[in-house]
Amino acid sequence: MGCNGPRMLSLKQPYASATVSSSKNWKNIENRTRVLFPLSDEHKDHRMKPYQRPQAIKINIVNFAKQLDNDLLRSEVFVRKVCSDAIEALYHQKNIQRVNGGIKELIVVGDLHGSYASLMKILDLLGNKIKTKSCHFVFNGDYVDRGDGQLSVLMLLAWLRSKYPDHVFLNRGNHEHETMNRKEYHHGRNFVEELEERAYDHLYEECFMSLFNAMPLATIWQDRVFIVHGGPPRPHELRQWESVDTIDRMNGDILQHMIFADMLWSDPTKEASITGWRKGKRGKGGLFSERYTKEFLKAVDCQLLVRSHQCVRGGCDWVHGRKVCTIFSAENYVGLENRGAVIVVKNCGDELKCNCVQF
């Protein structure tokens, strides 16, 4: 069964937006030291020493997030080290990573698109659960493009993934791709443009493409919840589901593999004329019906599909008989005045209890 009736919670107290440092300051940093990637032992021992103090690891996550945005990202060595550690934590995971164990609570965060203020709200509200290791966090892709704090969002999540490898997980979204990161947008800038403003554009191919390639495509939580950025693949690819983990995601363009393109780009539909899966208007992926959702969940032996990829006004939207939940976490996305949300799922034995927490 799916969730037993979603409940909508709201963060009532206003939260001051996180300060995003002016990009003009990044170009004026003198004597920037460029190092090879991955870091050599010399760089780790010498230049990383200021960032390996015990108090830098034990401090409150929200306080560290502010320190990262205001100070730590000035160091190219720090950025490279965070990328290197995250890649090491990610690349050995299967394309469809499975998260099991005794923890009974799951929090899924949807598209952030460089909204550091939205991420700060989420961590302020629920971040203590990471520190106490009382739940699993799955961030479901689209960390960059359009927002003002793209590098801050990506580096904080990469840092959390390496520091809490058994409790924080990252899925890849369709925007973790070079085509999207160089695309011209009517609202906001792309990821490469932000890197250029910070004088970090040389790091895109040296570090960030490898980081994106290392991210798994989906997560199965407790053998019950399937979490993916877009949706299920078309029927032909679904029939070959058993071979999905044999595809090499670290080399080449993952969109050359139709099954991956479908998983990153597909959307649910309520159109009565669509009874299965068919191509959509995005150019990649397709549209899947309620009947196809049931077929997919049966094929992967799960009860609920949590996905992102679409901006929904309330931050959370349920379709297909509450078998599919869309989560979008970037509030006021490109001026649309939408709310952000996350979904909290609790494994209560025979049933799943789900709350959508808005902010």
Residues 224-256 have pLDDT tens digits of 999 999 999 999 999 999 999 999 999 999 999
Structure tokens at 242: 């058993």
The Cα-based distances of 176 to 90, 133, 150, 212, 229 in angstroms read 14, 27, 11, 6, 11
pLDDT of residue 134: 94
Q: Is residue 21 assigned to a domain?
A: no
Structure tokens at 85: 């550690």
Structure tokens at 193: 């443009």
Cβ proximity of 99 and 169 under 8 Å: yes
Instruction: Name the catalytic one among 113, 136, 175, 229.
Output: 175
Cβ proximity of 327 and 341 under 8 Å: yes
Q: Is residue 270 assigned to a domain?
A: yes
**SS3 (DSSP) at 75:** coil
pLDDT in tens, 253-284: 999 999 999 999 999 999 999 999 999 999 99
pLDDT of residue 24: 34
Number of domains in the chain: 1
pLDDT of residue 327: 98
Q: Is residue 27 assigned to a domain?
A: no
Can you tell me the distance from the alpha carbon of 293 to that of 290, in angstroms, rounded to the nearest whole number? 5
Can you tell me the distance from the alpha carbon of 145 to that of 185, in angstroms, rounded to the nearest whole number? 9
Active site residue 175: yes
Which CATH number fits the domain that encloses residue 148? 3.60.21.10
What average pLDDT score do residues 200-218 get?
98
Q: Is residue 26 assigned to a domain?
A: no
Closest alpha carbon to 235 in 283, 273, 291, 175? 291
Can you tell me the distance from the alpha carbon of 131 to that of 274, in angstroms, rounded to the nearest whole number? 44
At residue 105, φ and ψ (nearest 5 deg) are -125, 140
Q: Is residue 19 assigned to a domain?
A: no
Can you tell me the distance from the alpha carbon of 142 to that of 64, in angstroms, rounded to the nearest whole number? 22
Cβ proximity of 167 and 133 under 8 Å: yes
Range of the domain at 347: 7-12+34-358
pLDDT in tens, 104-130: 999 999 999 999 999 999 999 999 999
| pTM for this prediction | 0.86
Structure tokens at 147: 């927002």
Residues contacting 111, CB < 8 A, separation 6+: 140, 141, 142, 173, 308, 309, 311, 328, 329, 330, 333
CB atoms within 10 A of CB 227: 29
Q: Is residue 1 assigned to a domain?
A: no
Q: Is residue 336 assigned to a domain?
A: yes
Confidence of residue 29 (pLDDT cuts 50, 70, 90): very low
Q: Is residue 303 assigned to a domain?
A: yes
Q: Is the pLDDT of residue 51 over 60?
A: no
pLDDT of residue 178: 97
